[in-house]
Amino acid sequence: MAPGRYWRVGVLAIALVFVFPFFGWGAEGPRGPWGETGKGDGVRINVLADDLAALKQEWQLSQLSDQGPWSEYGATSVCGQRLPGSPSDDVLCGRSFIACSEDNPQIGPGPAMDVHKRMVDRQGSPVSGADGQWVTIGTTCLPSMVPGVGPQLTLAMIREAFHDTDFTLPVVNIQPEGDVTLVNLPTYFEVRFPEAGFGPDEVDTPDPARLLGYRIEVRPRLKSVTYHLGERTVGPTTSLGGPHPTGDVTATYTRPGTHEVRADIVYTGQFRVGGSDWFDIPGEVDLEGTPVTLTVREAKARLYTN
């Protein structure tokens, strides 16, 4: 992702005086699903949606005059160096999302980025003096709303990529073996995960092309299993069952017949970027397991004479 995507805008002194006093640079955002969303691993989100709307208003007012200098804005990752144009100005890490909130539109889903401003002339060169130096004006979780900053990786993109994971579908192993049991005989069920696909805690790497070039790792997490056993349903539960005699998912059938047995699974997800800690992906994935046909037979005792 190329750094230095900025927007040159004309600045009116009256616009700066009128608009910027209303910016909530020091405001701490309300709480969200990450916990205390105003803070996160040292990241303080203090440029909210209303602040960025005011920034847009300042830009619109500036169009009334051809006089310079003009404002140039940039946004850089909270994980790397803090000035636009540096080699790590677009790197992401866990801090990019921990302070953000997908549920709170004032905070935004992330990534968290520092917002910078400097003054330039009509050719785009920084003006002389302090006005031509980058000044950090705050940190936002809505960087795409900053003038001149293009699309950014969002939690929604990560969630969509996770939902397209080739998940492992669980199968049920039955004891007695052979998918045949007897009336009134306790039958034991155990979930197993085939090699194909990604099961609980197995790490997948979605195509970076769909994530703006970022290499993100995702992994499914087991939330629950529901056993459909014909005459009864067990769950939702976190138990994967087990073999005779220790398994805790059992059924005893009262009459002969056949039953389609399966274990449906609910996955949640986590992601990490740049070797960070794992962070939860909002939502869950419900999948129907691979069915197995269980035959229940009736055993009859017979007396034979020699």
Q: So what's the pLDDT on residue 153?
A: 84
Query: In the predicted model, is pLDDT for residue 36 greater than 50?
Result: no
- Tell me the one-letter amino acid at 59: W
Residue 250, phi then psi, degrees to nearest 5: -135, 165
- Compute the distance between CA of residue 85 and CA of residue 113 in angstroms, rounded to an integer: 14
Residue 23: pLDDT above 80?
no
Q: Report whether 139 contacts 112 (CB < 8 A).
A: yes
Residue with tokens 């962070």: 279
- For 126, the 3-state DSSP assignment is strand
Least confident of 25-29, 55-59, 72-76, 101-105: 25-29
Q: What is the Cα gyration radius of the chain?
A: 29
Helix then strand count (H, E) for the chain reads 4, 15
What is the rounded distance in angstroms from the CA atom of residue 190 to the CA atom of residue 204?
Answer: 25
Local confidence band at 306 (pLDDT 50, 70, 90 cut-offs): low
Tokens representing 156 are 């929604």
Pairing state between β 257-273 and 233-237? unpaired
CA dihedral for 39, 45, 46, 48, sign (positive or negative) = negative
The residue among 147 and 181 whose pLDDT is bigger is: 181
Q: pLDDT at residue 33 above 60?
A: no
| DSSP 8-class letter at 58 | H
The domain ranges of the chain are 8-150, 158-297
Q: What percent of the chain has pLDDT over 70?
A: 82
DSSP label at 91?
Answer: -
- Determine the Cα–Cα distance for residues 223 and 233; give it in Å rounded to an integer: 17
pLDDT score at 302 = 62
pTM for this prediction:
0.72
Report the run of H or E that residue 49 belongs to, with start and end.
Answer: helix 49-62
The residue type of 30 is: P
pLDDT at 35: 30
Q: How far apart are CA 127 and CA 121, in angstroms?
A: 6
Place of tokens 């600045």: 11
Are 108 and 142 in contact by the 8 Å Cβ rule? The answer is: yes
Q: Answer whether residue 27 shows pLDDT above 50.
A: no
Over residues 218-238, the mean pLDDT reads: 95
When pLDDT is averaged across residues 233-241 and rounded to a whole number, the result is: 96
The rounded distance, in Å, linking the Cα atoms of 306 and 295 is 33
Which residues have CB under 8 Å from 224's CB, separation 6+? 235, 236, 237, 238, 265, 266
- Maximum alpha-carbon separation in the chain: 117
Enter the tokens of residue 162: 């996770």
b (16+ CB within 10 A) / e for 255-287: eeeebebbbbbbbbbbbbbbebebbebeeebee
Classify residue 47 by its DSSP letter.
Answer: B
Cα 125 to Cα 106: distance, rounded to the nearest angstrom = 33
